[in-house]
């Protein structure tokens, strides 16, 4: 009797399982697996989804464009778009940028930290050991978080980005307790590498590269409103078309960072009639020299390549010369020699 009862119970439960399987069975779209197979499998979250499979599911459902995969880049986006028969969508290359460069040589410490080598842990003990309460702590929480090895702590004990490895996934952003890291378009080569909101006199006491809020950069732009001050810090408006080269060079505390290590310079050719308009608008003293009525010349050692002088030349006797060359070590140099 016991055997019969358990046999009947097993058959009954088995029937329930079969019914439930057929009733609630979800047919998985095979395209999800195919799209996930095209993705690089980094699971970095740069696309805004919880891993590559979730992103693939969103693409198949039409909830996401194929161009959101930063590690895969354009080639992966094209393959997915072709497979799904959809538009690839527009995309802008982005990279991480660190808004602080005050390390051992530039920023003072107010205490010696002896504890867990972690930025969040250091913040809990008196808000860190640095005199600047806005600066990089330098314990590498962002380094540990980066899945691509694109962040490192340099010899000056400040976080730095390896732009050959950075894909702009943004994982490092949340890993910084002081919110010093920002992901922005790769084309924005010049930015303010400081996050300090203290008044200038106070900043000077503990950091030699900290922004003092002097506003000189706001006066150095050619487009009105391209830089405005926000809580004693310059805020750059890239939509204005300003290149910010002059502003970055005019900063007395060198708070700007220019990712272009060597910029090309201006050249004046033999068509020059010596009107002198170029010298009048040049923001750097001595960069353009000459006598009225004679051909002017450019001091290549001083010229910063801002290009402000070029539109002033009515006869088109000026141009930017000197192509940039980058090697595998991310060093840069100008082509050897030039034509005067």
The domain that contains 102 carries what CATH number? 3.30.70.20
Got the DSSP string for 271-311? Answer: T-----HHHHH-SSTTSEE--TTS--EE-TTT-----TTGG
- Residue 5 is assigned to a structural domain of this protein: no
Cβ neighbours of residue 336 closer than 8 Å, sequence gap 6 or more: none
DSSP 78: H
Same domain assignment for residues 83 and 161: no
> Which structural domain, as residue segments, surrounds residue 58?
30-89
- Residue 23 is assigned to a structural domain of this protein: no
Same domain assignment for residues 177 and 199: no
Report how many domains make up the chain: 4
- Residue 217 is assigned to a structural domain of this protein: yes
Last residue of a domain, one of 38, 54, 89: 89
Per-residue tens of pLDDT for the chain, all 340 residues: 888 787 888 887 777 887 766 666 555 678 888 999 999 888 887 788 888 999 999 999 888 888 888 788 778 888 998 888 887 776 678 899 999 999 999 999 999 999 999 999 999 988 889 999 999 999 999 999 998 999 999 999 999 999 999 988 889 999 999 999 999 999 999 999 999 999 889 999 999 999 999 999 999 999 999 999 999 999 999 999 999 999 999 999 999 999 998 888 999 999 999 999 999 999 999 999 999 999 999 999 999 999 999 999 999 999 887 644 333 333 333 333 444 3
Please answer whether residues 318 and 300 qualify as being in contact, where contact means their C-beta atoms are separated by less than 8 angstroms.
no
Q: How far apart are CA 86 and CA 68, in angstroms?
A: 14
Measuring CA to CA, which residue among 339, 273, 279, 270 is closest to residue 312? 279
Note the pLDDT of residue 335: 37
- Residue 282 is assigned to a structural domain of this protein: yes
- Residue 19 is assigned to a structural domain of this protein: no
Same domain assignment for residues 182 and 245: no
Note the pLDDT of residue 22: 67
Return the CATH number at 44: 1.10.15.40
Got the DSSP string for 194-215? Answer: ----S-HHHHHHHBTTS-----
The dihedral over CA atoms of 103, 106, 110, 115, expressed in degrees to the nearest 10, equals 10
Note the pLDDT of residue 330: 38
- Residue 85 is assigned to a structural domain of this protein: yes
Q: How far apart are CA 294 and CA 302, in angstroms?
A: 21
- Residue 14 is assigned to a structural domain of this protein: no
- The neighbouring-strand residues paired with 324 are 334
Same domain assignment for residues 97 and 154: yes
Phi-psi region of 255 (alpha: psi -120 to 50; beta: other; left: phi over 0): alpha
Last residue of a domain, one of 141, 158, 187: 187
Cβ neighbours of residue 79 closer than 8 Å, sequence gap 6 or more: 38
Note the pLDDT of residue 89: 73
Last residue of a domain, one of 89, 104, 124: 89
Scanning the structure block, which residue is given the tokens 């046999």?
7
Give the DSSP H or E segment for 228. strand 227-230
Note the pLDDT of residue 81: 87
Same domain assignment for residues 121 and 135: yes
Q: How far apart are CA 54 and CA 35, in angstroms?
A: 10
């Amino acid at each position: 009797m016991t055997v019969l009862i358990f046999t009947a119970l097993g058959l009954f439960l088995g029937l329930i399982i079969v019914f439930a399987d057929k009733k609630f069975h979800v047919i998985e779209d095979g395209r999800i697996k195919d799209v996930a197979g095209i993705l690089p499998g980094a699971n970095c979250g740069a696309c805004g989804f919880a891993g590559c499979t979730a992103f693939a599911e969103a693409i198949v459902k039409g909830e996401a464009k194929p161009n959101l995969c930063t590690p895969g880049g354009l080639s992966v986006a094209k393959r997915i778009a072709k497979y799904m028969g959809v538009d690839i969508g527009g995309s802008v290359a982005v990279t991480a940028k660190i808004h602080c460069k005050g390390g051992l040589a530039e920023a003072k410490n107010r205490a010696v930290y002896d504890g867990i080598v972690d930025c969040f842990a250091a913040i809990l003990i008196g808000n860190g050991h640095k005199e600047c309460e806005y600066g990089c702590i330098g314990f590498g929480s962002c380094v540990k978080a980066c899945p691509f090895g694109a962040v490192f702590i340099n010899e000056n004990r400040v976080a730095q980005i390896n732009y050959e490895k950075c894909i702009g996934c943004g994982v490092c952003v949340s890993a910084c307790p002081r919110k010093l890291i920002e992901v922005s378009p790769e084309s924005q080569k010049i930015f303010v590498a400081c996050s300090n909101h203290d008044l200038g006199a106070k900043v000077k006491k503990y950091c030699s590269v900290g922004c003092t809020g002097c506003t000189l950069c706001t006066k150095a732009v050619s487009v009105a409103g391209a830089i405005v001050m926000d809580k004693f810090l310059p805020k750059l408006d890239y939509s204005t078309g300003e290149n910010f080269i002059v502003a970055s060079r005019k900063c007395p505390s060198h708070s700007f960072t220019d990712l272009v290590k060597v910029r090309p310079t201006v050249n004046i050719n033999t068509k020059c009639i010596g009107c002198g308009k170029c010298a009048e608008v040049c923001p750097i003293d001595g960069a353009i020299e000459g006598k009225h009525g004679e051909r002017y010349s450019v001091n290549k050692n001083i010229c910063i390549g801002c290009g402000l002088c070029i539109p002033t030349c009515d006869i088109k006797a000026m141009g930017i010369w000197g192509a940039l060359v980058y090697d595998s070590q991310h060093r840069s140099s100008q082509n050897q020699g030039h034509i005067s």
